[in-house]
Chains A and B, each alone.
Chain A
């Protein structure tokens, strides 16, 4: 779609076409080959940027951002009360209690962290999407991770330091952190995850909303927590919305659907939508944002 958009709006006033390759620069020096890979190495560091207009990002900037600012705005009169004075349980200067665990009295109260004041700059926006799969069989045989890795690669299109960006980590392997009763041991690979940012993130979101969610059977929307649930838990102040997709829904992604027979098995995954919202009510703001991208939410 993006390329069609680009081509229709061609500009013909210039002498040369803006989109066509003109003439390659003359190569005056021998290009160095990478000793490890044997591949030619360009003499400069090349970083790729956006290569097409992004429909959902435009939608966010033209429509969603204003609406979200109006919907999530809370008016504050006067100055905010000073932040809570933290009193530690033990005197930190007392040599008798110096190395004791010293939590603040009344708990850390993470769930009551106030939201920052509403400004146009900190209107809720999507920062990244994280896809995550745990493969139980990989505990016995780590070869079982391979289809999951391939699935994540096909879904995200991310590679390690892809496009010359040093912060892009591609598909990562998740390892066990601690021993759980004869099941998980520290350091063994048990899952894969991938972080999506920028254009890739919006492309994934568009695919999810247009191709996958409408085709899942008996899916009315992501189920919201009951109204009676506490709004002071750490998860509600972090601005992250998560839900999972079952293995059969993965087959609806066009990237997978085109050769679904090539995968020995499909794995379900968790999708975490990470936004910049923090403080009380952050998760609601994040849900409002996702709702604007047409992810349905229902209350049971």
Chain B
């Protein structure tokens, strides 16, 4: 509201000044107030809402080689400086759990300080093997040793950009491949804001109408997180040229998947920031690049 009145005032002010200036220089007594009478009313800017639908990371970030070396170095320092472990507070003497802990602890010490660090256990070889066998049996009974899932999903291997499981440690964003005015463009789900709705409500409604009801999405906050001014296409009639702005809202997908419902939407993809940069045009990229996460 405020900005609209401001822009109107600016237009009026400019045209008035120009009118005065032309009067001073050209001196046309026949039509003294020609320009003042034809002050062009600033047309209302069109408002669209767009949703940046985000899938947060589902895996921890893999550490860099430097981080890896740093962490293991720090863990080693910590291990060598820690207070003595109160064995008798945590374990009853001679129990299987104590044996297991001791075996595991020796393994960790060997990993941290090398094989020559530990003294040899003062128990017989048979006893040692018996201990190991007993601990293995305990592990089987407790159902340990379950295989961890691999960090790369099948979608990463196949290059399936529609899967929500791809690139687990990155932020992914939904990008739609749609046809606008005969042109193929990749952009975030976007639509005209309806009259009578708040912007964040309009964004939610638009998201569901474009991407289907088969997902659980939550719009973060009521304030837009970014704005994009559409480039005016050079048309013949300058009067029809009007400003059009797109307000971005951030949203999270909690469950479900996108099912495009419109004819104009050809395809969709869940992409990281760099992949988005490859697909959208430069003007759009300048508006969105600082909203997207580098991780």
Q: Mark A22-60, 1 if CB is under 8 A from B, else 0.
A: 111000000000000000000000101111110100110
B71 touches A52 (CB 8 A): yes
- Chain A contacts to B: CB under 8 angstroms: 4-6, 8-11, 14, 18-24, 46, 48-53, 55, 58-59, 61-63, 66-67, 70-71, 73, 75, 159, 163-164, 258-259, 262
- Chain B contacts to A: CB under 8 angstroms: 56-57, 60-63, 65, 67-72, 74-78, 81, 83, 89-91, 111-114, 148, 151, 171, 220-221, 223, 225, 250, 252, 293, 295
Q: Which residues of B contact A71 (CB under 8 A)?
A: 220-221
A73 touches B221 (CB 8 A): yes
Q: Which residues of A contact B171 (CB under 8 A)?
A: 62-63
In the complex, A18 Cα to B74 Cα: how many Å?
Answer: 12
Q: Which residues of B contact A50 (CB under 8 A)?
A: 71, 74
- The answer to whether residues A20 and B111 also contact, given A48-B81, A62-B295, A70-B250 and a CB cut-off of 8 A, is yes
B293 touches A73 (CB 8 A): no
Question: What is the minimal beta-carbon distance from B105 to any residue of chain A, in angstroms?
Answer: 14
Selected from B70, B113, B148, the residue in CB contact (under 8 A) with A21 is B113
Q: Which residues of B contact A48 (CB under 8 A)?
A: 74, 77-78, 81
Q: Which residues of B contact A46 (CB under 8 A)?
A: 77, 81
Q: Which residues of B contact A164 (CB under 8 A)?
A: 81
B68 touches A11 (CB 8 A): yes
Selected from B60, B81, B89, B112, the residue in CB contact (under 8 A) with A58 is B60
Question: What is the minimal beta-carbon distance from A56 to any residue of chain B, in angstroms?
Answer: 10
Closest 4 CB pairs of A and B: A19-B72, A51-B75, A9-B62, A51-B74
17 A-B contact pairs sorted by A residue (CB < 8 Å): A8-B148, A9-B62, A10-B68, A19-B72, A24-B114, A46-B77, A48-B78, A51-B74, A58-B60, A58-B61, A66-B293, A67-B221, A67-B252, A70-B221, A71-B220, A73-B221, A73-B223
- The answer to whether residues A6 and B78 also contact, given A70-B221, A73-B223, A258-B90 and a CB cut-off of 8 A, is no
- The answer to whether residues A262 and B90 also contact, given A51-B74, A51-B78, A52-B71 and a CB cut-off of 8 A, is yes
Q: Which residues of A contact B78 (CB under 8 A)?
A: 48, 51, 163
Selected from B62, B71, B111, the residue in CB contact (under 8 A) with A51 is B71
B89 touches A49 (CB 8 A): no
CB closest chain-A residue, reference B148: A4
Question: What is the minimal beta-carbon distance from B282 to any residue of chain A, in angstroms?
Answer: 24
B220 touches A67 (CB 8 A): yes
A159 touches B68 (CB 8 A): no
Question: What is the minimal beta-carbon distance from B253 to any residue of chain A, in angstroms?
Answer: 12
Q: Which residues of A contact B69 (CB under 8 A)?
A: 18-19
B60 touches A53 (CB 8 A): yes
Question: What is the minimal beta-carbon distance from A4 to any residue of chain B, in angstroms?
Answer: 7
B57 touches A62 (CB 8 A): yes
In the complex, A62 Cα to B292 Cα: how many Å?
Answer: 11
B65 touches A18 (CB 8 A): yes
A9 touches B68 (CB 8 A): yes
B62 touches A5 (CB 8 A): yes
In the complex, A105 Cα to B222 Cα: how many Å?
Answer: 39
In the complex, A70 Cα to B221 Cα: how many Å?
Answer: 6
A259 touches B76 (CB 8 A): no
In the complex, A92 Cα to B67 Cα: how many Å?
Answer: 59
In the complex, A183 Cα to B162 Cα: how many Å?
Answer: 67
Q: Which residues of A contact B60 (CB under 8 A)?
A: 5, 53, 55, 58
CB closest chain-A residue, reference B171: A62
B151 touches A8 (CB 8 A): yes
CB closest chain-B residue, reference A18: B69
Most A C-beta atoms less than 10 A away, residue of B72, B91, B111, B293: B72
Question: What is the minimal beta-carbon distance from A12 to any residue of chain B, in angstroms?
Answer: 10
In the complex, A53 Cα to B74 Cα: how many Å?
Answer: 12
- The answer to whether residues A53 and B221 also contact, given A4-B148, A6-B71, A46-B81 and a CB cut-off of 8 A, is no
